């Protein structure tokens, strides 16, 4: 079996959502193992679960440090200004209909909703399971959504349109989809995709759809356990040692009893073989690492009310360190699985700001805000025509452009302050329901039956609200497309037919005038280099004495303006000149 070399040595430690050295203290010093700690692989496997739950070594270290009077180190706050990409996984439970945009708005037209999900949630790569796609289906989908999406798929070899199927949907707006490469590991079950990530190497994502935990072959071997063993063997057969950065998908099993409701342990053989894969590629459960004791579930069985967290994302220690947020989200589509997602930072990219603030579309119909904006506009109009000031005072000595800029700043400030308190009702209801569900699932005093029943009711309400919000967006998008498409004078049509691609990012700049010649990747220094370059362009072709000539022309233009002319007179003069030009044009045409 091949070994994978990494910068940090991965110790074979069984953690529920974390990894690290077995015998390493918080300050990095090596400590002697205590009697109850496992010191070899066999002992580690037996000591994997304590009371049905895995050992959380990070918590143990903090308790020891607190016992010894030391203060545990806190995880440093990450900078959120780097380029980020959102990776997600979702079991879509069947292909559904594949029809043209706008022809069918039913829940069965799932790929319309997938396109909307990827766009609204800004997902860069979405791993989907149980896709039931064939090559012809994917060709039809690319015909419909190819401008935004690239679908890399693997079908079940025996029954491609009715069973299994796994795919990764790439958003061209977020990632370099056309430059991605892929390798089918197990047809219909596992696919490996490599995305452009940094100059050193790509980001390798392994999407999986494991068999059901209760299925066995003729020899009595568990198919889920054999699946993980086969993945290890297939990866080992690749010509070059492969690094797996992210493994995600529907595992159809849990590693801990805490991830099931009602709580119970799963097949240990499947957990052991999955452990071998995780240890081989230094992978850990990122969501559990971020939420060590929280109970949350991704799969809900309506018949029994049972829940489980079988959809998971495993990452390396480096990816986990560079992650911003881990989430379990409602898809807004009729299904029994939720979306699991993580946002990761590309530390090799330069710092990128948050961009400009835009007016939320849901506030366009708010009467109170429109009334405030109208008052601001009337006040600005009165300021321009001078009616806001006494006759003996002509107002501040400020140009109209500066006054208009000040009006826009005031307008933006009023809108932003109003948006902070005016949140859509459905969004408030969604947050309240999510909070109630978490409180119910993590209530230590509630019994199992009560948790199952109450959580099922709350989950149904949450799912209905999310579907309603998603459906509203879908209908609004379809109506806009029907109203504004194929209108030559509308920018919407031109924009919808434009190629979608990622934003061009300047990764490095040469520093002019440096000796010896050097380049920089620092964002602040690159900005200064660009500023100096564009400033120098203003005088690059200037002739000697050109500045004096420029000032002379400016003064001539200013002297041509009659003194004491107010704004209404200027407007009347412009209107008169416009009429003269129109009359002259008509006379020329008659001739």
Encoded tokens for 145? 């959504």
Residue 238 has pLDDT above 60, yes or no: yes
* pLDDT tens digits for range 245-267: 999 999 999 998 889 988 888 88
Average pLDDT over residues 357-380: 85
pTM of the model: 0.68
Tell whether 250 is in a known binding site: yes
Statement to judge: residues 101 and 170 lie in one domain: yes
Domain presence at residue 492: no
Give the pLDDT score at 552.
Answer: 84
Mean pLDDT computed over 94-109:
63
- Whether 178 and 204 map to the same domain: the answer is yes
Going by pLDDT thresholds of 50, 70 and 90, the confidence category of residue 442 is: confident
Q: In terms of domains, do 516 and 405 share one?
A: no
In this prediction, residue 62 carries a pLDDT of 53
Confidence of residue 96 (pLDDT cuts 50, 70, 90): confident
- Domain end (from 380, 399, 421): 421
285 is a domain residue = yes
Task: Assess if residue 352 is contained within a domain.
Answer: no
Give the largest Cα separation in the chain, rounded: 108
32 pLDDT higher than 70: no
Q: Is the pLDDT of residue 282 over 80?
A: yes
200 is in an annotated binding site: no
Identify whether residues 379 and 338 lie together within a single domain: no
Among candidate residues 40, 51, 35, the one with its CA nearest the CA of residue 14: 40
Q: What is the pLDDT of residue 30?
A: 41
Q: Would residue 476 count as lying in a domain? A: no
Query: pLDDT category, 315, cuts 50, 70, 90?
Result: very high
Provide the b/e sequence for 515-550 (b: ≥16 CB within 10 Å). Answer: eeeeebeebeebeebeeeeeeeeeeeeeeeeeeeee
State the chain's mean pLDDT as an integer.
78
Q: Are residues 13 and 156 in the same domain?
A: no
pLDDT at 82 over 60: no
442 and 435 in contact (C-beta within 8 Å)?
no
Q: Are residues 67 and 98 in the same domain?
A: no
Q: Is the pLDDT of residue 49 over 60?
A: no
With bands split at pLDDT 50, 70 and 90, how would you rate the model's confidence at 391?
low
485: in domain: no
Share of the chain above pLDDT 90, in %: 26
Q: Does the annotation place 109 within a ligand binding site?
A: no
Contact 286, 247 (CB under 8 A): no
Print the domain residue range for 147: 83-346
* Domain C-terminal end among 41, 56, 74: 74
My answer on whether 120 and 27 are in the same domain is no
Please state, in angstroms and rounded to a whole number, the distance separating the CA atoms of residues 347 and 507.
Answer: 12
Predicted pLDDT of residue 18: 43
Most confidently modeled of 188-197, 396-405, 415-424? Answer: 188-197
Lowest mean pLDDT among 249-258, 339-348, 394-403: 394-403
Same domain, 334 and 317: yes
Q: Given pLDDT bands bounded at 50, 70 and 90, which one contains residue 243?
A: confident
Number of domains in the chain: 4
Is 496 part of a structural domain of the chain? no
Q: Do 407 and 514 belong to one domain?
A: no
> Which phi and psi (to 5°) does residue 205 adopt?
-120, 125
pLDDT average, residue stretch 298-324 = 90
pLDDT for position 568: 57
User: Does residue 533 sit in the same domain as residue 566?
Assistant: yes
Domain co-membership, 145 together with 190: yes
> Is 222 annotated to bind ligand?
no
Domain boundary among 346, 377, 393: 346
User: How many alpha carbons lie under 13 Å from residue 200 in its C-beta half-sphere?
Assistant: 6
Separation between Cα atoms, residue 466 and residue 449, nearest integer Å:
26
Half-sphere exposure of 149 (CA within 13 A, CB side): 28
Is the pLDDT at 162 greater than 90? The verdict is: no
Please check the confidence at residue 168 and state whether its pLDDT lies above 60.
yes
């Amino acid at each position: 079996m091949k070994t994978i070399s990494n910068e940090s040595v991965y110790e074979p430690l069984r953690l529920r959502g974390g990894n690290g050295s077995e015998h390493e203290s918080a300050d990095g010093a090596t400590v002697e193992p205590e009697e109850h700690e496992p010191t070899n692989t066999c002992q580690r496997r037996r000591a994997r679960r304590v009371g049905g739950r895995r050992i959380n070594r990070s918590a143990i270290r903090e308790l020891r440090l607190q016992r010894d009077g030391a203060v545990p180190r806190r995880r440093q706050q990450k900078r959120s200004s780097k380029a980020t990409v959102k990776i997600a996984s979702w079991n879509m439970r069947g292909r559904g209909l594949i029809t043209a945009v706008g022809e069918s708005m039913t829940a069965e037209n799932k790929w319309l909703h997938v396109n909307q999900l990827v766009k609204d949630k800004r997902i860069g790569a979405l791993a989907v399971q149980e896709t039931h796609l064939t090559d012809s289906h994917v060709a039809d989908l690319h015909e419909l959504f190819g401008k935004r999406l690239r679908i890399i798929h693997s079908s079940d070899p025996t029954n491609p349109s009715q069973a299994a199927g796994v795919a990764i949907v790439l958003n061209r707006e977020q990632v370099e989809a056309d430059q991605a490469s892929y390798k089918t590991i197990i047809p219909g079950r596992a696919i490996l995709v490599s995305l452009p990530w940094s100059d050193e190497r790509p980001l390798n994502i392994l999407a999986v759809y494991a068999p059901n935990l209760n299925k066995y072959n003729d020899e009595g071997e568990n198919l889920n356990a054999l699946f993980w063993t086969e993945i290890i063997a297939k990866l080992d057969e690749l010509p070059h040692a492969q690094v797996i950065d992210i493994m995600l998908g529907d595992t159809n099993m849990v590693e801990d009893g805490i991830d099931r409701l009602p709580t119970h342990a799963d097949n240990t053989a499947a957990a052991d073989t999955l452990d071998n894969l995780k240890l081989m590629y230094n992978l850990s459960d990122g969501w559990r690492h971020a939420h060590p004791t929280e109970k949350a579930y991704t799969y809900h069985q309506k018949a029994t009310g049972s829940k489980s967290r079988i959809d998971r994302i495993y990452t390396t220690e480096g990816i986990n360190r560079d992650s911003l947020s881990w989430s379990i989200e409602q898809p807004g589509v009729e299904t029994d699985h939720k979306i699991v997602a993580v946002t990761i930072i590309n530390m090799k990219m330069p710092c990128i700001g948050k961009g400009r603030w835009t007016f939320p579309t849901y506030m366009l119909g708010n009467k109170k805000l429109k009334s405030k904006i109208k008052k601001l506009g009337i006040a600005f109009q009165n300021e321009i025509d001078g009616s806001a000031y006494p006759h003996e005072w002509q107002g501040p000595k400020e140009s109209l452009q500066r006054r208009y800029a000040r009006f826009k700043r005031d307008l933006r400030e009023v809108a932003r302050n109003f948006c902070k308190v005016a949140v859509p009702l459905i969004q408030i209801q969604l947050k309240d329901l999510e909070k109630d569900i978490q409180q119910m699932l993590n209530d230590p005093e509630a019994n199992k039956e009560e948790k199952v029943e109450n959580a099922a009711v709350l989950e149904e309400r949450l799912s209905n609200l999310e579907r309603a919000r998603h459906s509203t967006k879908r209908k609004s998008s379809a109506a806009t497309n029907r109203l504004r498409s194929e209108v030559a004078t509308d920018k919407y049509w031109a924009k919808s037919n434009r190629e979608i691609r990622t934003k061009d990012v300047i990764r490095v700049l040469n520093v002019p005038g440096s000796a010896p010649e050097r380049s920089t990747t620092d964002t602040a220094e690159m900005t200064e280099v660009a500023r100096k370059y564009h400033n120098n362009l203003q005088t690059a072709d200037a002739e000697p004495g050109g500045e004096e000539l420029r000032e002379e022309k400016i003064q001539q233009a200013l002297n041509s303006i009659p003194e004491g002319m107010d704004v209404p007179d200027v407007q009347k003069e412009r209107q008169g000149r416009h009429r003269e030009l129109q009359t002259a044009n008509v006379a020329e045409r008659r001739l």
